Amino acid sequence: MKPQLNEQQLNELAKDLDAIRDEVMADVGERDAKYIRRIIRLHRTLEIGGRVMMPFGFIPPVFAAAVASLGIAKIIENMEIGHNVMHGQYDWMNDPSLHSQTYEWDTVCTGDSWRRTHNYEHHTYTNVIGKDRDYGYAVLRLSDDVKWNPLHLFQFANYLMLSVFFQWGVGLHELESERIRRREIKLSDKKAFLKDFFRKGGRQAFKDYVFFPLLTFPVFPVVLAGNVSANLIRNLWSSTVIFCGHFTEDAETFSEASIENESRGQWYLRQLTGSSNFTGSKWVHILSGHLSHQIEHHVFPDMPAHRYREIAPRVEAICHKYGLKYNTGSFGRQYWTVLKRIGQFSLPDRVRARLPAQVA
Amino acid sequence: MLSTMNTRAPLRWLGKQLFNREDPGAFFDPLLAALNPMWVRGYVPARLQDVVDEARDTRSFHLRPSPRWQGFEAGQHVNIIVEANGVRHHRTFTIASSPRQWERDGSITLTIKRLPGGRITNWMHDNLRGGEIVGVSEAFGEFDLPEAEIPLLYIAGGSGITPVLSHLATLANRDFRAPVTLLYYVRSQADVIGAETLYALAARWPALTLKIFKTEEDGDGALLNDRHLDAVPGIRARQVYLCGPKGLMDLAGNLLSQFGIRESQIQSTFFSAPSAVAADTPLGGEVTFGKSSKSVESGGDAPLLEIAEAAELKPAYGCRMGICHQCSCRKTSGTVVNRLTGKPSGPGEETIQLCISVPQGPVTVDL
C-alpha cells in the first residue's frame, strides 16, 4: 500500500525537511572540512600501509594485515570519500581536489559515468521502475513491475556474480546492455563510453594486477593475490551496503506515470519511502560512506554525509508525523530481507503468491 | 620524487595511473600538510614571516613563497589562497615590493587594506599572523615598467599605490635618470601607504618628484585638478601610469586628454579584492562565459543554466533542481544568489551549481 498524503501535507513535509536542510547547510564549515580531511589522511595512511606491507605477505599475519589495510582503504575511498565528494557534498570547500565534477575514484567506473548514472538518473528517478536502472541493475527482478521469465530462476547466482565483480558491473552499468539486447540502441552508440571504460578499467587493472606485482617481482604472486583480495573485500562490502539501501522489504517502487509533474513534496516522499537504513556503530557508518543512512542521503544527497547521523532522529520524527514508515533495522535483518526479496522474485508469481511471508 | 612527479612526463603518466588524478603529486598532500604545510604540491605554499601595520586599516604581509615559485615583474599581481572556516578563497593582490627584494631574500610584500564589508580582507587582518601558511599563484598582469628611459608620471589613489611602490623601488635600483613624478591622492596622512619607502626614495633618488595630496586635510584644492597636471614639467612627453579607484581613474583620463596626452601613452590598472555586491542589488546582470568568450545580458531570476542555454552553450546538466551537481562549474568573478537558500555567494573564484545560481550583477563563469 503506497502512502497517501494530500497536497497540503506534502507541502508541509517539504517545508519540514527544507528547514532541517537550511539549518545544517548554514552551519557547514570548519568542522566538516576537518572531518573529511581526517578521513582522507586515514585513507592515505591505510593505502600506503597496505602497499608497503603487501610484499612481505609471505608471512601470513602480515598478509592478512596488508589485505585488510588496502581493502579498508579502498572501501573508505569509494564510500566515504569518492561517492560523497562526487555528490557535491564538499564543493563548498572550493578545494579543487574535492570537486564533485572532476573527482576520479579508485574503482573501474569512471567518475563521469557515475555522475551521469548515479547522481542524475538514480537520485532524480529513485526507484521509478524503467527510469532508475539501479533498481536491480537490469540484471535482477526485484518488483512486480518487471514481468517474470524463466531466466529469473537463476538470479541468485547472478546476484553473487554481481557482488564478486561489483566494480566491473558498476563500470559497465552505463553500457545499458539490456537495451542493446532488446535492440533499442546499438553497441556503436556506446563507443565513447566504452573507450572511457577500457581506459579506466585498464588503469585500475594495470595498477593492482601488473604494476605493483611487477615492482615486487620475486614475491609477485603474493602481491597479486593480496591486491585481488583487497578488491574482492571492497566489492562484496560495497555491493552489500548498496543492496541494503533500496532492495529491502517494504522499500517502495514507483511507476513512470506517478512522477509526472512531481512537486518537491512528492519527490521528498518518494525518497523517504524508497530508501532504507541500517543501524550500527560509528565505524559501520563511516565504512558504508553513511549509506547506512540511505534515507537521509536520498533526501539531502549533497549534505556532508557525517551529518546524517546527527539529523536522523529528526527525519525519523518527521516520518512518524506523517504516518510514513522509517525503514530501518540491524544490518543483519535488513540484509536478510534483501536476500529474501532476490529469492522470492526469482520465482514465478503463482509460486511466490503461495509463500508465507509475502514481500510487497 | 614528489617534486618531479608534476614535471617529468613518464613519471607524471605513471602517477596518473596510480592515483587517478591530473596532479598526482598532490595525492600525498593531506599527509604532507599535516607534517609540514610547506611540502604540499597542490599549490605553491608561502610562509608569512610577519604582518605589520602600514596605514589606517592597512597592513603589510611579508611572505616567503616556496622556492619553486617563479617570481614576478614589478607591477604584477598574485592570487592568494586562504582557508577560512573550511572554505578555500582566492583573492587577487598586487605585490608592493620589488623583484629585487625577492631575489635578495626570497620574500614579497602584499599591502592589503580592509575593505568595508569585504569578508576576506577583514579575515586576513583578523586572523593571519607570522608563521601561518597561505597559497600563492604565479604572478600575472601587464602594468609593465617602461622599456626606455623616458619621463614618467604616476597618478595613484589610496591602495592603488601598491604596484607603483614596486615600480619606483625597481626604477630607483636601476638608477633611472629620466624625471619621474608621483601624484598620490589619499584622504589623510594616516592613509598614506608605504610612507617610509616613499620618503626614503624621494630623499635618495633625485629623479623622483613626490607629491602627496590629502583630500580631507588639505581642502578641495587637494582633489586631482588641472593645476596639479600643469605643475608637471613636460607632461605631454610623459608616459603615464594610473592606479586607483574608478572615480579617480576616470577623472584622470579626462584631464589627461585635455592636456593632449594620447591613450597609447597611458597604462592603467586597478586590482583590489572585489567587494560583494550590496544586498539590494537587483537580480540579473551581464554574464560573461570565459571559455567561449561570449557575453550576454540577463534579467530577473533566470538561473545561469538557462542563460547559458539561451546563449547557445551546452553545459552539462542533470536534475535542474539543485540536487545532482552535474552542472557545477567554476565562477571566476561576480556574485550569484542560490535559488534554494536565497543566499548570495562571495565575489571570488568558486564552484557553483548553474541550475540554481542567479546572477546578481556582472558574473563571469568558466564555460
Which pLDDT does position B273 carry in this prediction?
A: 41
Q: How far apart are CA B33 and CA A277, in angstroms?
A: 36
B367, HSE (Cβ side, Cα atoms, 13 Å): 29
Residue A238: band (very low, low, confident or very high) from pLDDT cuts 50, 70, 90? very high
Q: How many residues does chain A have?
A: 360
> Do the Cβ atoms of B30 and A41 come within 8 Å?
yes
Q: How many residues does chain B have?
A: 367
Q: A114-166 pLDDT, tens per residue?
A: 998 998 889 999 989 888 888 877 788 988 888 898 989 999 999 999 999 99
Which pLDDT does position B7 carry in this prediction?
A: 61
Q: How far is B330 from chain A (nearest CA, A)?
A: 9
> Do the Cβ atoms of A101 and B29 come within 8 Å?
no
pLDDT: which is higher, B83 or B3? B83
CB atoms within 10 A of CB A275: 25
User: Which residues of chain A make contact with B21, given a CB cutoff of 8 A?
Assistant: 97, 104
Instruction: Quickly tell me which residue has 585481488 as its cell.
Output: A228
Quickly name the fold that domain B152-269 has.
Answer: Rossmann fold (3.40.50)
User: Which residues of chain A make contact with B89, given a CB cutoff of 8 A?
Assistant: 94
Alpha helices in B89-145 (DSSP H): 99-105, 119-127
- B140 CB-near residues (< 8 Å, 6+ apart): B76, B77, B78
User: Which residues of chain A make contact with B15, given a CB cutoff of 8 A?
Assistant: none
Q: How far apart are CA A158 and CA A181, in angstroms?
A: 17
Which cell is B347 given? 565575489
> Do the Cβ atoms of B341 and A105 come within 8 Å?
no
> Do the Cβ atoms of A94 and B351 come within 8 Å?
yes
The number of C-beta contacts closer than 8 angstroms across A and B is 107
Residue B286 contacts A, CB cutoff 8 Å: no
> Do the Cβ atoms of B17 and A206 come within 8 Å?
yes
Report whether pLDDT(B91) > 70: yes
Which pLDDT does position B274 carry in this prediction?
A: 46
Return mean pLDDT, chain A: 92
DSSP A117: I
pLDDT: which is higher, A1 or B311? B311
Which pLDDT does position B350 carry in this prediction?
A: 86
Q: How far apart are CA A122 and CA A311, in angstroms?
A: 23
Which pLDDT does position A359 carry in this prediction?
A: 47
Quickly name the fold that domain B43-136 has.
Answer: Elongation Factor Tu (Ef-tu); domain 3 (2.40.30)
Cα torsion B113, B114, B115, B121: sign: positive
- What CATH number has the domain spanning B284-365? 3.10.20.30
∠ Cα B326 B273 B68 (to 5°)? 80
Which pLDDT does position A251 carry in this prediction?
A: 83
User: What share of chain B in percent tops pLDDT 90?
Assistant: 64
Q: B1-31 pLDDT, tens per residue?
A: 455 555 678 888 899 999 999 888 899 999 9
Q: B97-106 pLDDT, tens per residue?
A: 999 999 999 9
Q: B238-294 pLDDT, tens per residue?
A: 999 999 888 888 899 999 999 999 988 998 886 544 455 666 778 889 999 988 889
Cα torsion A139, A140, A146, A151: sign: positive
Nearest to A32 among B86, B350, B353 (CB): B86
Residue B142: band (very low, low, confident or very high) from pLDDT cuts 50, 70, 90? confident
Alpha helices in chain A (DSSP H): 7-27, 30-53, 60-76, 84-86, 111-114, 123-124, 155-164, 166-172, 177-181, 191-205, 212-215, 220-246, 264-274, 282-287, 294-299, 308-321, 331-344, 349-353
Q: How far is B30 from chain A (nearest CA, A)?
A: 6
User: Which residues of chain B make contact with A211, given a CB cutoff of 8 A?
Assistant: 14, 17-18
A353 exposure class (CB count in 10 Å sphere: 0-12, 13-18, 19+): exposed
CB atoms within 10 A of CB A262: 17
Which pLDDT does position B277 carry in this prediction?
A: 60
Beta strand B357-365 pairing with B328-338:
antiparallel
DSSP bridge partners of A159: none
Which cell is B256 given? 589627461
Q: How far apart are CA B222 and CA B267, in angstroms?
A: 23
Q: What residue segments make up the domains of chain B, in order of their start?
A: 43-136, 152-269, 284-365
User: What share of chain A in percent tops pLDDT 70?
Assistant: 98
Q: How far apart are CA A330 and CA A276, in angstroms?
A: 11
Which cell is B6 given? 608534476
Interface of A with B (CB under 8 A): 22, 25-26, 28-34, 37, 40-41, 44-45, 86-88, 91-97, 99-102, 104-106, 115-116, 119-120, 123-124, 203, 206-207, 211, 264, 301-302
> Do the Cβ atoms of A94 and B88 come within 8 Å?
yes
DSSP bridge partners of B59: B53, B112
- The amino acid at residue B170 is T
Residue B39 contacts A, CB cutoff 8 Å: no
Nearest to B328 among A88, A116, A301 (CB): A88
CA distances from A254 to A144, A242, A267, A346 (A): 11, 19, 11, 20
A354, HSE (Cβ side, Cα atoms, 13 Å): 4
A187 exposure class (CB count in 10 Å sphere: 0-12, 13-18, 19+): exposed
Q: What is the pTM of this model?
A: 0.87
Q: How far is B331 from chain A (nearest CA, A)?
A: 11
Residue A357: band (very low, low, confident or very high) from pLDDT cuts 50, 70, 90? low
> Do the Cβ atoms of A92 and B20 come within 8 Å?
no
- What is the arithmetic mean of pLDDT over B67-76? 95
DSSP calls for A5-40: --HHHHHHHHHHHHHHHHHHHHH-SHHHHHHHHHHH
User: Which residues of chain B make contact with A206, given a CB cutoff of 8 A?
Assistant: 17
